[in-house]
Structure 1
Amino acid sequence: MPFPNIPPEGINPIDGLDPEQVALLLLANIAFEELGLAYLINTGAENLQGAIGTLVDENGVLLNPLIQAESLDDLLTVNREVEKMLRTIVKKEMLLQFKFENVLDLLATISPPPDCIQPMIALTISSGDNGCTFNISGTVTCSGQPVSSGMVTLTATMSSGSGTVTVSPNAAMITNGTFSATLAATNFTFGTAEVTATTAINGVTVSTTATTNVDCFISRCSSFRYGGSSLSKNQIYPPGWNSN
């Protein structure tokens, strides 16, 4: 019965692992040794079944009739061999029990990770190539340390002015304490956009809000002609629009 190599050949199993990970690796080793012993016990049971002639397949056909005992001495011989193997397995089980208890003692000495006392989320919005797209970036920390994973929910609205803004993705993934997204404004959107980021860390919900000025007008002509009259861009932009 083949077994996988744990770890693969040429790899140091504890290089870069913390004590808890080492303990879990030792528990996996114990589990595989127990699996091997179970395989040996099953083999001994099949030897006894074969010796007394009760080892059959699902159709009741006798398997390997050549190992069936022909006399009482043959049966006792098989029984003694199986008994020796079981004695060896019992000794191995005792060693594994000692090993298991040592691993439990190791786990008892490992301090749990510190609780998240001060979860924080920070948000920054920077302008992109034009006044219509913006880069959103942020950080998520717990007691001053980056949060390794999680999700941040992002929402965007126009707190003043006119038009529409959207954020993508609206559920950003946290990777090593950072996340990112994109804020996009539709054409003819101007005013102040507001982005809110929300996440939950160890059951504690935290959120923050950042704002940015939006001036999205894709066609920035200096003047237009309407009905034979020339209109300047100051006459075209709505009041309050930054037309520079």
Structure 2
Amino acid sequence: MNTNFSNYELERRLSLYHVFLTLYERHGDLLDRILQLENLYQPSLKGEHLRYVQGVVEDSSVYLITNLCDNQTQTLEQMQHIWTIGRDRSNGICADNRHLSRCHAAIQYIECQGFYLVDFHSTNGSFVNGESIYQPTKLQDGDRIRLGSLTFDFFLNHQHRVLPALPTDLVTQLIPSTANIQQQELGSHSAAQKTDDLVSPDETVQISLECAWGRLEYGRDGLQEQQKSDILDRFFQQSTRTDCR
């Protein structure tokens, strides 16, 4: 009976495994998205974040912005407009991923045409929106790219706008300028100086402090001798009660 149940359970798990492999081969991109959405709600995976590559065309400048390198956002310029991707440190985009080939693929910009993804006959392949590519493939804004098991989004930016200046009444509600901060500090310092000048050096400023042992009076010279003695007496009395308990 137990043997039959074990065989049945093994066959069931193998069947589920084959179903999962089939789904991953045909809809790997969809499963990657589902897994990433699940990871967003796991507190232990706070370090995980959206991986991306952004191609920027600005006047005569062409460059990439990405966080694939050491999990830090970087701007990458390359005079030939070719950014290689792989696990070898010599690549323009180096990612520590064991499913990447040493030089897995490249993103290339061709003038007046756009950005292309080129696979270098990698072991685990390159995919755009879940489709395996074998020839240079033009990238569109929002494409999902998977190299081996490394998945990231590609964004395209070729528009540049200069925004108008903000109204003065709105700017005053934002972070104050350095000049205003310095002026406020000078005003506060002057007010404090005037307050100090009102107090004679010979006067004693009394500060009342409520504590567990009663009300104490502080002067500029600290506690008076009688107060120090009272504090020590109360401390020893409290210690004696604690030891008796």
- TM-score tier, shorter chain, comes to under 0.3
> Normalized per residue, which structure has more strand?
1
Using the size of structure 2 for normalisation, the TM-score is 0.21
Highest relative contact order (Cα 8 Å, sep 6+), 1 or 2?
1
